Amino acid sequence: MNETTTYTGFWQESPRPGILGWLLTTDHKRIGIMYLGCIISMFIIGAVLGLALRLELIAPGPTIMGPQTYNATFTVHGIIMIFMFLIPSIPAAFGNLLLPLHIGARDVSFPKLNLLSWYCYMAGLVLVIFAMFGGGGVPDTGWTFYVPFSTQTTTNVNLAAFAAFMLGFSSILTGINFVTTVHRLRCEGMKWGRLPLFVWTLYATAWIQVLATPMIGITLVLVILERTFGAGLFDAARGGDPILFQHLFWIYSHPAVYIMILPGMGVVSEMIPTFARKPLFGYWAMALSSLAIAFAGSLVWAHHMYASGMSDLAVLVFSFLTFIVAIPSAIKVFNWISTLHKGSIELAPPMLFALAFIFNFAIGGLGGLALGAAASDIHLHDTTFVVGHFHYVMFGGGGFALFGAMHYWLPKFTGRMYNHKVAAIGWALLFVGFNITYMAMQAVGIMGMPRRYYDYLPEFHTLNLVATIGSWMLAAGLIVMFVNLWQGLRKGAPIGKNPWGGATLEWAIPSPPPLDNFGPEDPVVTKGPYEFKGVVADEY
């Protein structure tokens, strides 16, 4: 095959040549690729920090770092993973790549705003680097910035808080863009009832991004004011209230959890029908439960605060609301499983990640029940059970969904396929290593080990050792997966339009897609996103 004449789509077609063709691009696919590059880089840095934390905890007492370094490490691990990896991961990278393709549009509503949001992300990234290496020391507040500690510590909290503020702007701009795009740019025949589920979840997510993110921006600015000018808002000695900060912080940061998981649910809802060759079971239940999660998820923030000293009445109300949000999540799980019934199931690599997502998310979600109930949360709160729990949701859910999306859609965008056997090996290492690591963490938390402890009592040793060993397996899985993807997507076998037999619009255009997505004719949609009759997967 002659490489020089190989079709390369949006990778080569550009109004500007070279690097400027990327830095000044308004093409949603190029912006998506730039996001993906940054996000994966951030993930790798965050993962290395996480492995260092686990290594420190391999035995009681100091092993590879002292307490201040440990505190700085978990703070930076959290800031990177939450604000620079999970929140932008699927929406900013795969949302940009796919949202216009899924609804038959040629770009998002505001392409220049889209580029600006990427620059806001980059500004936040640069500020975090300054916060890490500037004078004053690496921030040591944890990603939650709880006052009064965050207003007293001498480390670079202002810079880190401002970085999160900038990253918030990036998120808001993306959200505005996606809401408008879904409303305005659906192609002919793309009724609301024909939107792929991924679009529904992006739409629900975008509303949270627009409505909730300003809260974190304001709150972090208040922390900066408190630190710089002694505003006194959170200082009890001057009539302020430290618990007020926690409310303000979680009003954003709990819905942010759904920014991280909802698009992952959308990804899984695309992959399961494709690899079962069957329509998604309960389309409207799935679509509406996405909106229900976004809505109810905005009302449960104070379940992070049962032990904070807030009133018992607030505990009652927020515990009740928290259980309400469990219901749409349960509906999703049942519908995914029902989709498998009487299907024709192929365990291709993306499907493996989708099934792992269901298992991990089920454990994370069910663990959340014990945290939502008032009495049991009092014991589990601020232990490593909580750390294990949110890694099950964020990493086992959101992370695995991202990896699944990479295996499912990146061949579409590079026109080449990775090695499936190696991908399955990487998946298995990841899945087993992940569960060893975080199940051990949950168990030691039930025993009573508090989180953010760099040292611990001897009775917690065995399970910490198990978790650390699990983290090495997890790391091995990540390496296998990334190397395989990198090699396959650059040098693998070329693929046709539709390697998996998907029925959504992106599978009807060439791989990689051309700059204008659909050629001269606008697409016209006449059937739902999961009607597989007559859809044939290409051989490759």
Partner 1 sequence: MNSLANPTAQAVDNVLIYIFGVSLLLLLGITVATIYLVVKYRRSKYPEPTSDCHGNMWLEAIWTILPTLIVLTMFWYGWTNYTGLREVPDDALEITATARMWSWQFEYPDGRRANKLYVPVNKPIKVHLKSTDVLHSFFAPAFRVKRDAVPGIDTYVWFEATQPGSYDIFCAEYCGVGHADMTTSIEALAEAEYATWSQPQQPSTEPRGLTVLNELGCTGCHSLDGSEGIAPSLFELSGQQRKISVDGKLSEVTIDVEYLRRAIREPNAELVEGYDPMMPSYDDATLSDEDLQAVIDYLLGKVAEAESVQINANELLENNGCIGCHSTDGSESIAPTFKGIAEREVTIIRDGQEMTLKVDVDYLRRALLKPNEELVKGFPGIMPAADYLSDDEIEAIIQHLLKQ
Footprint (CB under 8 A) of partner 1, residues 295-334:
306-309, 312, 315-316, 319-320, 322-324, 326-327, 330-331, 333-334
Q: What is the dihedral of CA 332, 366, 393, 206, to 10 degrees?
A: 40
What is the smallest separation between the CB atom of 144 and partner 1, expressed in angstroms? 8
- Tokens 């040629």 locate to 106
Contact between 348 and 420 under an 8 Å Cβ cutoff? The reply is yes
Position 66 contacts partner 1 (CB under 8 A): yes
Nearer to partner 1, 118 or 395 (CB): 395
434 to each of 73, 130, 431, 480, how far by Cα in Å? 20, 32, 5, 14
* Cβ nearer to partner 1, comparing 378 with 483: 378
Q: Which residues pair with 188 in a beta bridge?
A: 524
Cβ 396 to partner 1 shortest distance, Å: 13
- Rounded Cα distance, 162 and 140, in Å: 15
Give min distance, CB of 319 to partner 1, in A.
6
**Secondary structure (3-state) at 90:** helix
Q: Which residue number, 171 or 335, has a Cβ lying nearer to partner 1?
A: 335
Size of the site for partner 1 (CB under 8 A): 92
CB atoms under 10 Å from CB of 45, counted, come to: 16
User: In angstroms, rounded to a whole number, what is the distance separating the alpha carbons of residues 476 and 160?
Assistant: 31
Distance between CA 25 and CA 39 in Å, rounded?
18
C-beta closer to partner 1: residue 55 or 366: 366
Token pair in block for residue 228: 């710089």
Give, as ranges, the residues between 69 and 88 that touch partner 1 (CB under 8 A): 71
- Name residues contacting partner 1, limited to 394-433 (CB under 8 A): none
Site for partner 1 in 270-299 (CB under 8 A): 276-279, 281-285
CB of 164 to partner 1, least distance (A): 18
Q: Give yes or no for residue 382 binding partner 1 (CB under 8 A).
A: yes
Choosing from 454, 500, 507, 518, the residue that interacts with partner 1 (CB under 8 A) is 454
According to DSSP, the residues that pair with 450 across neighbouring strands are 383
By CB under 8 A, what part of segment 340-359 binds partner 1? 340-347, 355, 358-359
- Is 68 a binding residue for partner 1 by CB under 8 A? The answer is yes
Instruction: Please state, in angstroms and rounded to a whole number, the distance separating the CA atoms of residues 404 and 264.
Output: 9
The CA distance from 266 to 422, in Å, is: 25
Binding mask 226-245 for partner 1 (x = CB under 8 A): ---------xxx---xxx--
Q: Which of residues 127-186 bind partner 1 (CB under 8 A)?
A: 140-142, 146, 148-149, 152-154
- Residue ranges in 521-540 that form contacts with partner 1 under rule CB under 8 A: 532-533
> What DSSP character marks residue 95?
I
> Shortest distance, CB of residue 529 to partner 1, whole angstroms?
12
Q: Name which of residues 191 to 220 contact partner 1 (CB under 8 A).
A: none
CB of 449 to partner 1, least distance (A): 8
Closer to partner 1 by CB, 99 or 440: give it: 440
| Burial grade of 242 (CB within 10 A; 0-12, 13-18, 19 or more) | middle
Site for partner 1 contains 448 (CB under 8 A) = yes
What is d(CA 213, CA 253) in angstroms, rounded to the nearest whole number?
8
Handedness of CA 226, 230, 235, 241 (dihedral sign): negative
Of 18 and 309, the one with the shorter C-beta distance to partner 1 is 309
